[in-house]
Structures are given as structure tokens and as C-alpha cells.
Amino acid sequence: MAPPGLSRETLAQALAASIGGVCAPGLHPQSEPSRVPGQPVFYNLTPSFEVLDAAGARFALCVDDLTLQDDLNKQAPARPGWWRVVGDDPRLLRLIARHIKPQGPLAEALAPAAALFGTDLQPGEGGLWKVVDETGASVALGAPLPGERERPCELITPPIDADHLVALEARLSLARSLGFFAPVEGATHLHFDAAPLRSARAVQNLVRLFVAFGPTLRARLGVNPRCRRLGPLQPELVSAAESPGFVNLPWEEARARLLLAKPDKYRDLNLRNLILALPHKHTVELRILPVHLHAGPIMQAAALGEALLRRSIVELPVERRPPLRPGA
């Protein structure tokens, strides 16, 4: 979390300067629960900042995290030039993101989105601008960013192949020097390469390990009780991994059975990327670390996560057992 008066752009600019790179503004897709009946989720494009090194490779990405709320003054006025685009169809928002500028006056930036639908922007109260199609149906809404929403900063690194401690500390030490701090609801998420887990046996082993030792891991890693969007593995997913004959299925057939469980990402262990086989994020994600602003504890947790994954890919089956109570 950026201190008052600073923003995630501050950190991105400082990171770029530290490596002789550039800071490229962008728009990051996110979702949030909706209070509108019949529309459980709204989708957002929010300001993001990508740090590229001198060769054009990503060094870091600084984005909003809509679950971070309690450190912010929600009554603060919108920061000039900071806005978001909201809609109910993520496909349309992805299209809009490809055609609009991520910075500048909102109406000017959003005008190309209206042009896609052959219309003009429609102004609204409070600095709002609406994109509609030729029938007048709403497509998306542009709005000033709510109070202090420029301050949350999820710091995302690219895959790190070597010298993990040094690489992480180079980013985190700069954040500390600028006064960034751990948000009340914050967490650290670790992504591991999912390629070795593409087998029914490996997934079943991992599910069994996490069912049995999940509560112990939470206690060991110090999960933040105020962190939102966490929870045990979905019962439907566990049932799929334990279904008769599952462990003998070829991977694609096993994956199809797991897909029927409709996996979501908001779990202590996120297997969704593995099951959906997303080409740009083929990972499993451990989500129960608290925020660490030093690299050491992150590396210790990563070693524990790696040990679980290495045990999972061994052909020897993991014994099925109920959850162990921490300290048992």
C-alpha cells in the first residue's frame, strides 16, 4: 500500500529508474461483487503500470487490488486523471482496452470505445461517461477512480528463474524506501510452474495433501485473517479428484472431469489455471501468505510450497486423510 500522497505509479516509476527502464501505463482487468440484482459481478479496467527493462522485458507490474479497502479514505476526492472503466461483459472490456488510451482525460481516452459502436459518448453526473451501442444499450461506463484507489499496489513479478532472493529484494527494498507498507487485508501469492502437475495422480496427490495439511499450512505460514477471497478447496473439486477411476485417466480426460467442478481462483490453493490450461498463466498458486516486505520469509514459504509440489508429482500415492488440526 502506498503512503498517502503517493501511488502505485510512484513505485513503478522508481523501479523503472532503478534499472534504466521505462514505465508503461496500461489498464488491468479486475472483477468485484455487485449489488445490482441479477448481476453478481462487475468487471473493471483500472490503471496499471508495467516496468520494462532496457531490453523491453517485463521487470514488474503494479496494479490495483480491489480487495484492499480498509487503509483507504473512501471520502477522499478522486485524484485528477485517475479513472476506471466498468462493465458487465469482460469480453467487451477486453475489446475496449485494446482501443483506448490508458491515460489522459476520461472523455478523450474513452471516445475510441464509443466509435467502435458507431456512437458518441454520453455524459453523466459526477464526471461519468457512458459507452452505448446504436440501440442505446449500455456497453461500459467510465468513471473517476474512487477515493485513494491509486494507493493500492499489487506488485507482480515475471517468472524468476534464478537468484530469487536477490531479485525479490531488489523490488521490495525500493518499495520500503518509499514508505509502502503491508495493507490490512493484504496477502502474498506464489505461483509455481504447473507443467509437472499435468497428471491425474499428481493432482490427486496435491488435493489430498492440501485437504489434510491445509489448516496446518495456514497456521505455519501465518495467513492474514482479514484477507478476502480465501478458502479451502471446493468440495466439488475434491470429489472429482477422488472419483472412481480418476487416477488412471489420461491428463486431458482428468482435466475434463475437473472442469466439471467449475474451479474458481479464490481458494487457499488456486488450481484453476492448471485445470483451464491457460497459456499465459500455466501455474498453481499458493494464496495464504501474509504480506511480506522482505524477501526472506517469501523464499521460506516458497520452499515449503515447492516441497508439497515435489511430493505430489511422485507416483507413490498420498494417503487420503481428514484435515489435521494445527499442532496435532
Whether the Cβ atoms of residue 21 and residue 53 lie closer than 8 Å to each other: yes
Predicted confidence at residue 326, as pLDDT, reads: 75
Q: Average pLDDT of the chain?
A: 95
CA 199 vs. chain centroid, Å, equals 25
Residue 2, domain member (yes or no)? no
Which residues form the domain of 283?
187-312
Spatial separation of the C-alpha atoms in residues 125 and 138, rounded to whole Å: 16
Residue 213 and residue 273 share a domain: yes
Residue 239 and residue 131 share a domain: no
Give me the residues of the chain with pLDDT under 50, please.
none
Taking each helix axis from N to C end, the angle separating 164-177 and 295-312, rounded to the nearest 10 degrees, works out to 140
Residue 95, domain member (yes or no)? yes
Residue 140 and residue 30 share a domain: yes
The residue from 114, 144, 174 where one domain ends is: 144
Residue 203 and residue 120 share a domain: no
pTM score:
0.92
How many domains does one find in the chain? 2
Residue 325, domain member (yes or no)? no
Nearest CA-CA partner of 149 in 101, 122, 183:
183
Residue 229 and residue 113 share a domain: no
CB contact burial 139-160 (16+ within 10 A = b; e otherwise): bbbbbbbbebbbbbbbbebeee
Predicted confidence at residue 229, as pLDDT, reads: 87
The residue from 93, 122, 144 where one domain ends is: 144
Predicted confidence at residue 96, as pLDDT, reads: 97
Residue 120, domain member (yes or no)? yes
Note the pLDDT tens digit of each residue in 80-128: 999 999 999 999 999 999 999 999 999 999 999 999 999 999 999 999 9
Residue 89 and residue 28 share a domain: yes
Residue 319, domain member (yes or no)? no
Residue 44, domain member (yes or no)? yes
Residue 216 and residue 306 share a domain: yes
Residue 159, domain member (yes or no)? no
Residue 153, domain member (yes or no)? no
Note the pLDDT tens digit of each residue in 198-224: 999 999 999 999 999 999 999 999 999
Residue 191 and residue 298 share a domain: yes
The residue from 111, 144, 177 where one domain ends is: 144
Residue 194 and residue 126 share a domain: no
Residue 17 and residue 139 share a domain: yes
Spatial separation of the C-alpha atoms in residues 150 and 42, rounded to whole Å: 19
CA 315 vs. chain centroid, Å, equals 31
E strand spans, the chain:
22-33, 41-52, 58-63, 83-87, 122-123, 129-132, 138-144, 154-156, 188-193, 269-270, 283-289
Residue 139 and residue 15 share a domain: yes
